[in-house]
Structures are given as structure tokens and as C-alpha cells.
Structure 1
Amino acid sequence: MFTHKDIENRSLFVINGTEHQNLKVSSGRLMLEDTETKKAITKLPFPKILSLMIVGHTTLTTALIEHCNKHGIPIVVMKPNFRPVFYYGNMAEANFLLRKKQFEENKGILPVAKVLIKNKISNQLQLLVKTREKSVSVEKAKISINNSFSLIDTVTDYRELMGIEGKSAKLFFNAYFEFADWQQRLPRVKQDTLNATLDIGYTMLFNYVECMTRLFGFDPYMGVYHQLWFRRKSLVCDLMEPFRCIIEHQIRKSLKYGTFKPSDFEKKKNAYYLKSEFKKVYVKVFFEAIINHKSEIYNYIQQYYRCFMGKKSVTSYPNFSYE
């Protein structure tokens, strides 16, 4: 398990294996090398590395694994869409005290769930404000979301909270993507190109957040808001809520700039799928959007861990503010 000293003095190192980069050990240091020019991009001493996250396809040598073992550096290898391939090393999964606390709260923690949803809708409100639009749908959504904060404070069960979250999300999407002829949010159905794009972005964010939760030893299936369900990683669903705004903002920006286009998709059996020639474009855009906030995501989950383990008041739980 990471100590306070580790977290303060060591860095999370993310390697983009899709950009002609290779890892090797040189003079006892980790070296990131450009595979085309054979020149070193950067060198890092192993004691300064908190965790090594490799995205894409690369080669791991026994020397690298040996040095990671020696310095207690966990390795996470992911596909380009951030889907975990395997975890190796000190992933803190033996943190039985943390998991014991999770199992004791197996029916969720409503006050913490409220914090997560408040954080999510506050970022939705921030995105609407950033548009500087004054349309009827935008103003209606802003008023409703503002009223939701006081309603959440009075909630006494999960169904009420889900209802408030659902209403806010519906109004938010109607306003934020009004320019793109928004219909409705239907996860995984892919009824239109915008829903399909949201699915791609959310999936990459989900995979990245899952890797972060495993670094601290959380059981990803034990959530505080999303309830237990077969094979659903409820905690990951919980912790990605405040960060959904990263994906939503990136999609709006990419549509406005023409980076993402409806013509990038093809329709098969009443569902829209991204054409193979555009997959790299979408992965690259979402990769950069998520990695630009890697420190905020890590710090958020770190603070969440401390609050959860210390049974601190809900006012101590972290808040992610999208700027």
C-alpha cells in the first residue's frame, strides 16, 4: 500500500504506447525511447515512480519487471481504449481493512452518494455556463440543476436521488447538445451517432478510473451509490460520475470543430458503429482529454480513499471542479 511519503514524493507515469514509444532500463533508470529515432524522450529514477501505466502495445523486458519489483512499482497495461489487459505487482489488493469496510457498507452510503451526484451536476451546470448560450433549454436546465442541490439535501433513499440525477441529466443533455439535434440518452443502444460517441468516451473514462481504484486496493464491485449487480463494477461507476463532464465537454468541442462528424459512423442493424478508419482519431482525442486530467483523477481517488478509510464527514470528501 502506498504511504503518505510515496504519494507526496513519487509520480504516476503514463506511457502512450500508441505513439512509437518504447520502455527500457538504462543505467538503472527507466528510459522512454522513441522507437523511430532511437533517442531518449525522458529518463526517470525508479524510486520516483509511484505507478507505471502503459497504454497501447509495447514490450516489457525482464530487467524492467525486476526493477519495478525491487522498488514496489505496480504496472498496469491497457489497450488504447484504456481497457485493462493485466495488472502486475503491488496493487494493494491485500488491503483487507479497506475491503472489510466496503463489505460492511454493502448496501451503500447515501450521504457519500449525495456528494458524488452533487459534484456531477455541479459540473454539468458549469458546462452550461461555459457555453454562454441563453436559449430557453439552457436557461431551463440551469434553473432546474440549481434547484436540485437543495432537493438532494432532503433525499432519504436512493430512488429519490436517482430521480433527481435523471431529471438533471435529461435537461442537461437537451440543452448542451441541442445544436446537434439531441434526442435522448440511451446507453449502449447506439441509436444515433451522438449516443455512440458518448459510449466510446465514457467507456475509456470508466476503464481509466478502474485502474486508479485498483491502485488503492478497492474492490471495484462494491459501490456506495450504484448497488450490487452481477459483474457490474459499481464503485467505478460511482467514482467516474464527477468526471463525465470531461467527456461531454470534449465531444461538444470536437463536434463544433469538425473533428467528430456523423459521417464517421455506419449503421448496422439499427445501431451506429464507428468506422474502423476513424477509431484512432476518437481514441486519440479521448486519450488526451482524460490524460490532461490524470492528476485530478488520481488526487480525487486518493482523497476519497482517505475519507472512506477514516470514516470522515461528507464535507471532507473530495470535489472535482471542471474549469
Structure 2
Amino acid sequence: MTWRNVMIKDGEYLRLKLDNLEVEKGGKKFSIPLTDIATITLEGDMMTLTTKLLAKFAQHNIAVIVCDNKYHPCGIFLGFGQYHRTAKRNLEQIAWDEGKKSAVWTEIVRQKIQNQIAVLEARDLEQERIQKIQTLCDAMTLGDKTNREGHAAKLYFNTLYGLGFTREESRFENFAMDYGYTIIRAYMARLVTSLGLIPTLGVFHRNEFNSFNLVDDLMEPFRPLMDWYIGEEILPKYKDYLSWEARCMLIDFLNQPYVHQGKKTTVDLLMLDYVNSFIKIMNKKASHLTEITLGGLRGV
């Protein structure tokens, strides 16, 4: 079972050694079994690795996240064709009709908005504004054709971070969210591709320039969970600069404990269960997605 989310900063050489990742840095060597690794995040301008190692990453379904010189994730390397029935799953995904897509998207948006409400309630913020968001959620139509999600998001962020706040501002909160969301997106992309789904074929997102439309659909309910985690673990400790320690903590979100149906799991395993529930709906073996709740992350 893969469980490690590895972060490498300024590693000099990355090699394959007996089915292990060997990292050489400052004259020292560190070894990690490939079978333990789910994601690797690479930071630094001077790093050498081989195509043989990249091929092994792909074969082990390890997502490699590359950061730019500002330490922001800017690229993802993923394997493809590792699922044993990829063509069959692709045909099943293509065969979905618009009605099913609309129903699934409605459920995704509803989960996301309910989690946004839970974040605001956990922060004990203004009840009147929380009720307005709940009213928007209750009024949502099939496929969210009236864009209740967008209206709810504006109210949510203005309640969480103050009136006038926008996601386009150069603020520390936005830096943390951008980094955190990219980590969720990368891991979701790993799951989608490793389970034989077509990442470009979304149920709502249909941007012709986006290689991860389905990924962007499925990650939505997890965004508010990251918002809460940032509020608990990042904002109280770090103010202006997303330090190495802060970035490591954001990556560690995937390893956070989560209580699902009375059983203890972790966020990364929950995401796997969530994607599998999507596949079950696609195959008519289930009618609902796995429920994602802030309460599960908080253990309540």
C-alpha cells in the first residue's frame, strides 16, 4: 500500500537502486522503497534524475509534482495505461448520458457547499451569512444550472476572510490555498489515471485546454477540508511566507486521519474510496458518491 508523500528539496541526484528511490544530497544517500510512495514533490533548480527512474515512477503509479522557482507546483508527471482494463473503462465513461452527469455534478456541488458551511460553523462565524449559503444550496437545481456553487463560493470566502476578499489577491491565504489545492489535484489525478478513467472527460468541467477536467470535478468537495486544515495548521503558525515547513504540512494533508462510517482511515485512502464510488455509479453498482464531510476530518 502506498502511503508516503515525499518532498525533496535541492536533491543533487535521484537514482533507481534495487526498486528503491535513492536520493543523494550533500554527500549523503537516502533510500525509499518505490512501493511505499504515492507522490513525490520536487523543489530546486539543480536536480538530476534518469529516464529509467521516471519509467519506474510511472509503473508504480507515483505522481511526480514539479515546483517552479517560487516553490509553487507547476507540473505533474503521471504514468498511463497501467490499469488492466483501461479500454473497457474508457468506453463505459464515454457512454454516460447527460442526465447521469448532471446528477453526479449536483451531488458533488452539494457536498462542497455543505462542507463550506461546516467550515464556517466550525469557525463560529456569522450565522446569517451561513444561512444564506444554506438557502443557496437548498435552491440548487439539477446540474446546478443557476450556478449556486459560484454564488455560495463568494459568500463563503467573504465570510471566512472578510468582505472584499477575492481569490485573485496576492494574500498569504491565497498562496496557501493555491498550494494545498494543487496537492489535492495531483493526488486526484494519480487516482483517476491509475483506475483507467479519462481525465480530460469531465462531468461538468469541459475546457478544451484542460487535461484534467474530471480531476477538477472530483476534487471539489475536498477543497473546504483543505481550507479548514489551512486555518488550523498553517495560518496560526505562518503569516507572510509559505516556508518549507508550511509546504511540508500542506502535503501532509493527504496523511491526515479521517473517520468514515465509524472506521479510521486517512484522507488519501478516502479519496481512493471516493473515486471508486464514482466508478460504481458509472457501472450502475451504486447510486451515490462516498460522502465527504468536514466532521470526518475533525473526527466528530
TM-score normalised over the length of structure 1: 0.68
Of 120, 141, 148, which residue of structure 1 is paired with 2:112? 120
* Alpha-carbon separation, structure 1, partners of 2:40 and 2:61: 11
| Deviation (angstroms), 1:16 | 2.3
Cα 1:21–1:318, aligned 2, differ >3 Å: closer, same or farther? farther
The one of 61, 66, 73 equivalent to 2:60 is 73
1:299 corresponds to which of 273, 279, 283: 273
**For residues 125-274 of structure 1, what are the structure 2 equivalents within 5 Å?**
125-131=117-123, 133=124, 135=125, 138-152=126-140, 155-160=141-146, 162=147, 164-178=148-162, 182-186=163-167, 189-190=168-169, 192-226=171-205, 228-232=206-210, 233-253=212-232, 256-261=235-240, 264=241
Contact 2:39/2:65 (8 A) holds in 1: yes
Q: CA 1:64 to 1:200, structure 2 compared with 1: closer, same or farther past 3 Å?
A: closer
Q: Deviations over 1:252-295 (max 9, x none)?
A: 3356414033xx4xxxxxxxxxxxxx564553342222443322
Q: Structure 2: which amino acid aligns with 1:128?
A: L
Secondary structure of the corresponding residue to residue 209 of structure 2 = coil
Cα pair distance change 1:94/1:260, threshold 3 Å:
farther
TM-score calculated relative to the size of structure 2: 0.73
- Please say if residues 111 and 291 of structure 2, whose CA atoms lie closer than 8 Å, have aligned partners that are also in contact: yes
CA contact under 8 A between 2:106 and 2:142: conserved in structure 1? no
- Structure 1 unaligned spans of 5+: 1-9, 265-277
Over 3 Å counting, the alpha-carbon distance change for 1:282 and 1:302 in structure 2 is: same
Name which of structure 1's ranges 231-240 and 29-38 shifts more when overlaid on structure 2.
Answer: 29-38
Deviation (angstroms), 1:235: 1.0
Is there any run of 5+ residues in structure 2 with no aligned partner, and where?
A: 257-266
Q: How many residues align?
A: 276
Asked if the contact 1:75/1:89 (under 8 Å) is kept, the reply is: no
Cα 1:16–1:100 change in 2 (3 A) is same
2:253 aligned with 1:289:
yes
* Distance in 2, Cα, partners of 1:66 & 1:124: 39
Give the greater-gyration-radius structure (CA): 1
C-alpha distance after superposition, 1:157-214 (max 9, x if no partner): 4422x2x222322222222223xxx41434xx33655445433433343233222211
Classify 1:22/1:147 alpha carbon distance in 2 versus 1 (closer, same or farther; 3 Å). farther
| Per-residue CA distance 1:77-113 (angstroms, 9 max, x = gap) | 2214555443346533971222223323374711111
- Between the aligned partners of 2:274 and 2:199, the Cα distance in structure 1 is 16
Q: 1:260 to 1:307 in 2, by over 3 A?
A: farther
Whether 1:321 aligns to 2:293 is yes
